[in-house]
Amino acid sequence: MNQMDLNKLFEMIGEVIDARGPIHEDKPVDTKEKKTLKGIPYPRLALNKNWGTPDSDDRIVLDRFVAEMPGDLKQKIISLESFLEGCKEECINAKNIPQAIASIVILDALASLVFDFNARPAGDLFEAFLAALTGEEQTGQSGQISDVGTTLSTKLIRKGTDVTGSYKSLERFLKTNKSVTYLVAAKAQEKKGGPLSLEFYQFEIPKNIVPDPALVKDGQFVIPAETYENKEFLLGTLNIGTQAELRNIAQEYLNNLDEKITIIYETLGTMSNQLNNYFVDNDTNSAEQAKASAALLKTNVDNLA
């Protein structure tokens, strides 16, 4: 890892520290408060609807983390899944550090959204969350069938739940658009607070699925769960576990990383003292010690790469 990478890491950690605080739906990020970094804290961002607005301060902070996870939504889900599984097996050495920090922030936000909020606010926040992940704007509040951008409709529902929506709104939308894309996050959780998994499905109406007019009831079209919950439309599955298990995974990574960074600073401090002794006292023994410390410093930095 070069100096630019280390600077980038510390900038990301600093931004998390500035944005930390209790999770409130509408609480803005305090960009003025600065805190001293003592070890690597558990990174958390306050969930709020501002994530759905591209130019908001909260969205700009989150965008820094999302940028560490290149690719489309499917690739991001696969990357998050890989982080979860990889850290369960062997936290942490082979992971890209900025991407791992980004994964922790995004997974914690997603888990908090599901564990800490009831269905309605969770659905609204899920729209804002997906807007940030896809680089779009949350548009669901405008009354259109799309929730994110111009053609994406989102659902955060229990596994096995049918997708429903206004049939008239769908017909009106399809008069000026070829299709609408549905992104469904299906929650699988046996009991409240228990292990959680999220299955992400994506399909287009009417390209992939055509709502059956016979199933329209009270003006609502219905897409049965058995129609969209199949491998053809599956983007990926996140086996998050419990909130405590997720945070244990993250904390294990951060503790490991903190130890490595602490060793680097301690070795750097030792080498600085040895060089001072050499230059001030012309102590050749200190010069040899400084050379050994420099070699150790290089090894420790390489271990972060």
Sheet containing strand 234-241, strands side by side: 152-158, 180-188, 196-205, 234-241
Q: Looking at per-residue confidence, does 258 or 100 come out higher?
A: 100
Quick one: which of 220, 130, 229 has its CA closest to 171? 220
pTM above 0.75, yes or no: no
The per-residue pLDDT for 239 is 92
Count the alpha carbons within 13 Å of 85 in the hemisphere toward its beta carbon: 11
pLDDT range class, residue 42, cuts 50, 70, 90? low
Give the percent of the chain with pLDDT over 70. Answer: 80
Tokens of 221: 């079209």
- Which one-letter amino acid corresponds to residue 76? K
Quick one: which of 246, 215, 235, 212 has its CA closest to 115? 246
pLDDT in tens, 184-219: 999 998 888 788 899 999 999 999 999 999 899 999
Q: Looking at per-residue confidence, does 45 or 129 come out higher?
A: 129
The per-residue pLDDT for 167 is 92
Quick one: which of 134, 170, 167, 166 has its CA closest to 149? 134
The per-residue pLDDT for 199 is 96
pLDDT in tens, 108-163: 888 888 888 888 888 899 999 999 999 999 987 655 789 999 999 999 999 999 99
Per-domain boundaries in the chain: 1-137+242-263, 139-239, 264-302
Over range 12-36, report the average pLDDT: 44
- Which one-letter amino acid corresponds to residue 203? F
Report the alpha-carbon distance of residue 45 to residue 29 in Å, rounded.
8
| Beta carbons within 8 Å of 172's beta carbon, 6+ residues apart | 145
The per-residue pLDDT for 33 is 38
